[in-house]
Amino acid sequence: MNKLRWMTGVFLVVALAGCSSVPERGAPRVAYVPGVKVDMDNTARVKESLYAQYHQWKNTKYQIGGLSRNGIDCSGFMHVTFKTKLGIVLPRSTEFQVGLGQDIDRNQLRAGDLVFFKTGISVRHVGVYLEDDRFLHASTKQGVTISRLSETYWKSAYWKAKRLDT
């Protein structure tokens, strides 16, 4: 019985926390990695970098709070991806990532824009737009994957998009 309660508690924490975990202090900000920074206006280079990241991380399982190939969550994947492939250091949590950059309309999306979803009452999810309705993210069910914004689930959960001020 205690094991069942423990497992139920763990499930509830994971279900309620989602990618909104790992709180940070201070205002959201963007920093840059010297010598690695990719010009975000160069969409061909941004897409090349993001697809390379996908091929390196494809099918890595989802793990809340994770930051490695052993497991990663959505905001952690954005943190690692932007730092290593684009030279941009994002805050670790979705809560602070959503405070970055400028809001943009869905029909103005370009490679490198962050896309945010409301997947529960207080749960948020983040990915990065690629092209042609596709975005890269760490899915709770599929791990690191590419999905379509027009899929029923993502279409109904779509919240907003942000373009970073770079």
* Residues catalogued as catalytic: 74, 125, 137
Q: Is 67 helix (H, G, I), strand (E, B) or coil?
A: strand
Place of tokens 């490679």: 111
Residue 36 burial by CB count (10 A; 0-12/13-18/19+): exposed, middle or buried? middle
Q: How many Cβ atoms sit within 10 Å of the Cβ of residue 94?
A: 26
The answer to whether the beta carbons of residues 111 and 49 sit under 8 Å apart is no
Strands 88-89 and 31-32: antiparallel
